[in-house]
């Protein structure tokens, strides 16, 4: 590593901040976002879209560096299936829920590799720039508003890819204006399936040519550098009424959700290790029944049909149901805050306009109410800044079911809204995620979550006065399971990012761990020093209003250019 040359710094600062550079990043980011790279069950479509994105990237790299770069599209190494980091690609499941073997899921699909040479053609590359191309559902295309680009993947993670392409144009400017090139080359790696757990990186990191190289991991860190991140596991709870005709999996749901939330708060209170604190521990309910989009995304809407009555006094029970529901909502607001009072930076409006709608629906029968619970979507790591509709509904529905204490003969039926098949409530699936710091081992976290879900089912049985049966609750962890990682704040990529910050006149922040996880831990565990940085805020990632500010992408391209230059010097 070499100190940053003042002439290089001046050129990079000048060009990166220019209107032309901003316009280039806006254009290329819009083109990248327009390619739908949500992994889905149509594996041929995945392959076609991934390769289309790689075609755009290769075209831009060739235009920037005029044929000096060597390109590869390495197949996914099927040995990853036995890697501890391997995550089941659930998106590939067929209609019966069966996931094909890796050789079928990844047939014909590749990662992307570009090897950029330096002045010393005989020297091996000195660093890796890494980003991922997959995005979470649902996909929506690009939209421009001034300096903002909206769209799925706008910040997570295609703005980082755009910054890398911008970086190559900055390097070209340095070569043309100063007659200088990086002494050693570097490698650009783009990978698949980061959002499900990192299978693309688990394959790419096996390449022995790049063993141990410093890595700049580009992800949506709001331009904050990190050398550590929290871990995360995705859980799947299958709730069943078992043999009890008076019960349902949907009625068990609120008790399980609230016990999972309680256990998450316990883990947060216990967290106090270097670089980490309670903010690195998040509990997120991502999907239930037909609602929600991804275990790692905050759910913003659930709907139910409620019917309440009794032989004695149906009107009194209905009044009690509404009152208990309101009391449950207030308990939620006391604990999680009222997001109606917080402005959403993406829209300038309250994050939540209203918490719920409750109205009679004659089409569903006399005495039946339609309940819609509203929230604010976003990345699981920003769940405290969002508003989870599943968690909110759990507090409200638990209040509804508590009516049984006062009116044991009450008949209260709860169905999912928009799903008019009464069998759907008997076996319900909840999916979500739990974040954790290195002071808790992943296995311990899984065991604690499973016990918490079981406690929730038992609490429900106690309320309904039915015996608990083991098959009422099954908790598994067959999706993402990211371990926490912590590298040295003085690692080579962190030192060069610090030098880049100083050169750009940017303050170096107080270092802490990142509040989400990414593929950095895969490289760290394979002996790579890793630093994380990227444009875009976590609160915007995975949200219905995902966006990035182009000036932030400009700044990122300058920072990574200077850091890469230092690593290759």
**383 and 401 in a common domain:** yes
**237 and 207 in a common domain:** no
Tell me if 111 is assigned to some domain.
yes
Tell me if 552 is assigned to some domain.
yes
More confident residue, 430 or 399: 430
pLDDT tens string 444-490: 999 999 999 999 999 999 988 889 999 999 999 988 889 999 999 99
The number of folded domains in the chain is: 2
pLDDT above 70 covers a percentage of the chain that reads 96
If you average pLDDT over residues 251-269, what whole number do you get?
97
**What's residue 423's pLDDT?**
46
Q: How far is the C-alpha of 470 from the C-alpha of 548, rounded, in Å?
A: 47
Which residue range is the domain that position 473 belongs to?
231-481
- With a cut of 90, say whether residue 137 has pLDDT above it: yes
- Residue 94: CB atoms within 10 Å: 9
Q: What does the DSSP 8-state code read for residue 376?
A: B
Q: What does pTM read for this prediction?
A: 0.88
Choose among 449, 37, 430: nearest CA to 231. 449
> In this structure, are residues 201 and 524 in contact, taking their beta carbons and an 8 Å threshold?
no
Choose among 453, 521, 520: nearest CA to 283. 453
Q: How far is the C-alpha of 159 from the C-alpha of 28, rounded, in Å?
A: 9
Q: How far is the C-alpha of 207 from the C-alpha of 192, rounded, in Å?
A: 16
- Decide which of 434, 454, 481 is a domain's last residue: 481
**497 and 441 in a common domain:** no
Average pLDDT, the chain: 93
Tell me if 184 is assigned to some domain.
yes
Tell me if 1 is assigned to some domain.
no
**What's residue 2's pLDDT?**
61
3-state secondary structure 479-530: CCEECCEECCCCCHHHHHHHHHHHHCCCCCCCCCCECCCCCHHHHHHCCCCE
**120 and 35 in a common domain:** yes
**186 and 93 in a common domain:** yes
Choose among 496, 499, 569: nearest CA to 180. 569
If you average pLDDT over residues 45-59, what whole number do you get?
98
**466 and 562 in a common domain:** no
- With a cut of 70, say whether residue 362 has pLDDT above it: no
**197 and 80 in a common domain:** yes
- With a cut of 80, say whether residue 242 has pLDDT above it: no
**519 and 421 in a common domain:** no
Task: Read off the pLDDT band of 1 (50, 70, 90).
Answer: low
**What's residue 366's pLDDT?**
60
**193 and 72 in a common domain:** yes
Rounded to the nearest 5°, which phi and psi values hold at 291?
-110, 150
If you average pLDDT over residues 337-347, what whole number do you get?
94
If you average pLDDT over residues 487-505, what whole number do you get?
97
- With a cut of 80, say whether residue 7 has pLDDT above it: yes
**154 and 237 in a common domain:** no
pLDDT tens string 92-117: 998 888 999 999 999 999 999 999 99
- Residue 347: CB atoms within 10 Å: 10
């Amino acid at each position: 590593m070499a100190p940053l040359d003042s002439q290089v710094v001046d050129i990079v600062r000048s060009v990166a901040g220019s209107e032309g550079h901003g316009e280039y990043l806006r254009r290329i980011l819009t083109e990248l976002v327009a390619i739908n790279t949500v992994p889905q069950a149509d594996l041929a479509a995945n392959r076609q879209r991934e390769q289309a994105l790689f075609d755009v990237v290769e075209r831009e790299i060739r235009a920037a560096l005029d044929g000096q770069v060597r390109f590869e599209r390495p197949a996914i190494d099927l040995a990853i299936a036995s890697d501890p980091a391997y995550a089941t690609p659930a998106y590939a499941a067929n209609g019966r829920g069966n996931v094909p073997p890796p050789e079928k899921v990844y047939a014909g699909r590749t990662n992307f590799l570009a090897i950029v040479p330096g002045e010393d053609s005989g020297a091996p590359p000195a660093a890796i720039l890494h980003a991922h191309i997959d995005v979470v559902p649902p996909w929506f295309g690009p939209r421009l508003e001034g300096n903002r680009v909206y769209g799925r993947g706008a910040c997570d993670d295609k703005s980082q890819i755009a910054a890398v392409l911008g970086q190559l144009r900055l390097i070209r400017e340095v070569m043309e204006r100063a007659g200088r090139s990086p002494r050693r080359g570097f490698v650009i790696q783009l990978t698949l399936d980061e959002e499900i757990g990192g299978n693309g990186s688990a394959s790419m990191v096996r390449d022995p040519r790049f063993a141990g190289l410093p890595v700049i991991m580009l992800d949506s860190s709001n331009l904050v550098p990190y050398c550590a991140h929290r871990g995360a596991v995705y859980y799947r709870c299958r709730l069943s009424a078992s043999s009890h005709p008076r019960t349902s999996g949907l009625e068990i749901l609120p008790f399980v959700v609230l016990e999972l939330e309680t256990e998450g708060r316990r883990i947060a209170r216990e967290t106090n290790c270097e670089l980490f604190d309670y903010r690195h521990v998040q509990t997120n309910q991502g999907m239930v029944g037909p609602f929600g989009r991804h275990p790692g995304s905050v759910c913003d809407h659930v709907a139910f049909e409620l019917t309440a009555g009794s032989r004695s006094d149906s009107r009194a029970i209905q009044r009690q149901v509404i009152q208990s529901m309101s009391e449950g909502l207030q308990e939620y607001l006391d604990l999680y805050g009222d997001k109606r009072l917080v402005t959403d930076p993406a829209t300038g409006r309250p994050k939540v306009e209203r918490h719920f709608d409750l109205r009679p629906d004659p089409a569903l029968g006399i005495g039946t109410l339609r309940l819609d619970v509203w929230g604010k979507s976003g990345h699981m790591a920003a769940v405290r800044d969002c508003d989870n509709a599943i968690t909110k509904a759990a507090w409200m529905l638990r209040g509804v079911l508590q009516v049984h204490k006062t009116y044991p003969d009450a008949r209260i039926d709860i169905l999912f809204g928009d799903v008019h098949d009464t069998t759907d409530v008997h076996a319900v699936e909840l999916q979500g995620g739990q974040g954790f710091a290195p002071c808790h081992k992943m296995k311990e976290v899984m065991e604690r979550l499973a016990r918490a879900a079981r406690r929730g089912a038992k609490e429900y049985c106690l309320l309904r006065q039915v015996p608990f049966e083991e098959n009422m609750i099954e908790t598994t962890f067959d999706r993402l399971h990211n371990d926490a990682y912590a590298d040295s704040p003085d690692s080579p990529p962190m030192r060069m990012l610090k030098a880049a910050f100083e050169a750009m006149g940017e303050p170096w922040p107080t270092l802490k761990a990142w509040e989400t996880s990414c593929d950095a831990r895969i490289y760290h565990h394979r002996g790579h020093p890793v630093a994380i940085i990227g444009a875009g805020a976590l609160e915007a990632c995975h949200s219905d209003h995902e966006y990035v500010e182009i000036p932030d992408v400009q700044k990122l391209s300058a920072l990574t250019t200077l850091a890469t230059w230092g690593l290759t010097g």
